[in-house]
Amino acid sequence: MGRSRRRPRSRESSSDASFERLLSGWRRTETRRGSSWSVQPVGPGRSEKPYTCPGCQGTIAAGDAHVVTWREDGVLGAAADLAARRHWHTHCWNIF
């Protein structure tokens, strides 16, 4: 019988990724200003580039924790809503 060519999965990296997702939070639905929004938290170290927050026009630096939001009830459909998602400072989103 020949040797298996599959590499054993590293339990450490898998559990680290799961723990990182747990720290980030879960996607949820919120209602703001009469519209339904999907809100996905992004944990520290998970973002790879800077974004401009639509709430304060400030920069969200790469690696900063923040939230990504997109409408759930747009008239152009789910794909267009997802393509129009925006990155917000968590505080700015909370006061929106």
The full set of domain ranges for the chain reads 28-95
pLDDT digits (tens, 9 = 90+) for 45-83: 888 999 999 999 999 999 999 999 999 988 888 899 999
pLDDT of residue 40: 96
The CA–CA distances, whole Å, from 58 to 1, 54, 61, 66, 92 equal 61, 8, 9, 12, 10
Cβ contacts of residue 80 below 8 Å, gap of 6+?
74
Q: Highest-confidence range of 10-19, 20-29, 75-84, by mean pLDDT?
A: 75-84
Strands (E), the chain: 28-32, 35-42, 51-52, 59-60, 66-71, 86-88
Residue 12's pLDDT band, with cuts at 50, 70 and 90, is: very low
Quick one: pLDDT band at residue 25, thresholds 50, 70, 90? confident
pTM for the model: 0.72
